[in-house]
Amino acid sequence: MIINHPLLGPRDAQEFVYLGDARLIDRPDTMSETALDDFHAYLYLRDNPAGSHRELWYHEQGDRSWLVVTRDTTTHEILHVELASDYAKQRGRDR
């Protein structure tokens, strides 16, 4: 597989480490009253879509960027790649 790194161009998937669903970026609020349930859902309940899937890949043998890769799980076609930090900021994460 080849991942088109937004900064470095096309790179072989061997250089990356796969983590999983990009929803791991949406970490719940630890101060919420429902935090225990929220974290349970966050950590253990995942969709397993046949089709487009946003997932986290880490360029460990490269520039150490975490990337959000949108991949079709049925064809392995890669539809979009972006820096996870940019994506996280779009999702409202900050500090």
Partner 1 sequence: MSQKNRLGGGLIDRNQPLSFTFDGKSYSGFAGDTLASALLANGVRLMGRSFKYHRPRGVFSAGSEEPNALVELRGGARREPNSRATVAELYDGLQARSQNHFPSLTFDVLAINDRLSAFLAAGFYYKTFMWPSAFWEKVYEPAIRRAAGLGRLSTEEDPDVYDKGFRHCDLLVIGAGPSGLAAALTAGRAGADVILADEDFMPGGRLLADAGLLSDQTADSWIGKVRGELASLPNVRVMPRTTIFGMYDHGTFGAIERAADHLSEPPADKPRQILWRIYAKRALLAAGATERPIGFENNDRPGIMLAGAMRAFANRWAVTAAKDVVIFTNNDDGHRTARDLAAKGVRISALVDCRADAPASADFEVLKGAEVVDSRGRLGLKSVKVRLQGGSTREIACGALGVAGGWNPNVHLTCHKRGRPAWDAAISAFVPDPNVDPLLRAAGAAAGIFSTHGALQSGMQGAIDALADLGRRAGPIPLPTAEDAPVNVAPFWHVTGGKGRAWLDLQNDVTIKDIRLAHQEGFKSVEHVKRYTTLGMATDQGKTANIGALAIIAELEGKSLPEVGTTIFRPPYTPVTIGAFAGRSRGKEFRPRRLTPSHKWAEEQGAIFVEAGNWMRAQWFPLDGETHWRQSVDREVLAVRKSVGICDVTTLGKIDVQGADAAEFLNHIYCNGFAKLPVGKTRYGLMLREDGMAMDDGTAARLAEDHFIVTTTTANAVSVFRHMEFCRQCLWPGLDVQLISTTEAWAQFAVAGPNSRKLLQKIVDPAHDISNEAFPYMACGEITICGGLRARLFRISFSGELAYEIAVPARYGDALIRRLMDAGEEFDVVPYGTEALSVLRIEKGHAAGNELNGQSTAAMLGMGRMVSQTKDSIGRILAGRPHLIREDDYRLVGLVPVKPEDTLLSGAHLMTVGEAAIAQNDQGWVTSAAYSPHLKSSIGLAFLKSGDKRHGEVIRVVNPLGGSEFDATVSSPHFIDPEGERLRV
Binding positions for partner 1, rule: CB under 8 A = 1-2, 12-13, 17, 19, 24-25, 27-28, 30-31, 35-36, 38-40, 42-43, 56, 58, 60, 64-66, 75-76, 78, 83-85, 88-89, 93-95
Cβ–Cβ < 8 Å for 81, 67: yes
Nearer to partner 1, 70 or 83 (CB): 83
Nearer to partner 1, 49 or 61 (CB): 61
State the Cα–Cα distance between residues 92 and 14, nearest whole angstrom.
Answer: 31
